[in-house]
Amino acid sequence: MSLDQAVLDSPVVEDIDAQIEKVLAMMSARDLQQLQAKLRQLYQLEYSETDAHPFNIKTIIKGRDIRFARGVSPASRAFMILHSLGHYFFICAARRKNIERYDYIYDLRGVQTALHYYETAGQGSGLDQPPPMTEQKRKDRVSFEVGANRFAADLLADIGFGQAAALIQRYQVGDINYILDVSRGGKAAIVPSDHDYLRRYICAGLSIDPDDAYDDGVYDPDAYRRDGIDWQHIEDIRLEIHFF
């Protein structure tokens, strides 16, 4: 199955526990160590772990700094690292192509209390309720996430870890549904643990509309290059990625 085919839906499952075990088996602790070492060598990534993040956030990524909450599986950690790098590639490709459609999602140089709504809910500076998820915003978000995964798959193929692209395929649809749910529902929609994330989303047989994946040409087969991340730009926009 190609990454594009995986946009359509996740397989409907009868035994979720068995499916979760299969997902966890896709990335061993040793595999993760090897992948992290390669990405550290290429991009000077720094990995750390904390007992917990606020609001049950599983991982927070700022630039090259990746901080996991304890209890996040190697499979989910690998997806989070790769997906974030995919976002960096996507953001920089959009900038090179002068495509501004997605700027409002990730550029934190302005005041954007809607981005991490759950952090400011109920505060004087926050919003009273989540911003409405319009049809266009849904399409923006879905295509932004799918585009990141396409770049991540290209990165894996480039660095000799192409087999791990199956992990991205497996996580993609469930993760997108989770992002949309938290965007609509705020912190009340954040699941307690990585296992809940796998059970309720990754292995839940969910789907997305494949038409939502169109990204105005940000991603194309020739758009990826290993040095395609402008790290200064990523720092300038103050991007902070939260994996709920």
Q: Which residue has the higher pLDDT, 118 or 91?
A: 91
Q: Alpha helices, DSSP H only, in the chain?
A: 16-24, 29-43, 74-96, 103-106, 117-120, 135-158, 165-185, 194-197, 231-236
Q: Based on the number of CB atoms within 10 Å of its own CB, is 131 exposed (0-12), middle (13-18) or buried (19 or more)?
A: middle
Q: Residue 50: which of 70, 75, 78 has the closest Cα? A: 70
What average pLDDT score do residues 234-240 get?
87
What average pLDDT score do residues 19-38 get?
96
The pLDDT confidence band at residue 108, using thresholds 50, 70 and 90, is low
The span from the CA of 148 to the CA of 151, in Å, is: 5
The pLDDT confidence band at residue 244, using thresholds 50, 70 and 90, is confident
What average pLDDT score do residues 231-240 get?
89
Q: Lowest-pLDDT range, 10-19, 70-79, 230-239?
A: 10-19
Q: Which domain holds residue 49?
A: 5-243
The pLDDT confidence band at residue 186, using thresholds 50, 70 and 90, is confident
pTM: 0.86
Q: Which residue has the higher pLDDT, 205 or 1?
A: 205
Structural domain count of the chain: 1
- Name the average pLDDT for the chain: 85
The pLDDT confidence band at residue 123, using thresholds 50, 70 and 90, is very low
The span from the CA of 160 to the CA of 37, in Å, is: 13
pLDDT at 57: 86
Write out pLDDT tens, residues 36-52: 999 999 999 999 988 86
Percent helix, strand and coil across the chain, each to the nearest 5: 55, 10, 40
pLDDT at 34: 97
Whether the per-residue pLDDT at 77 is higher than 80: the answer is: yes
pLDDT at 63: 92
CA distance readout (Å), 187 to 76, 85, 116, 138, 178: 20, 25, 9, 18, 12
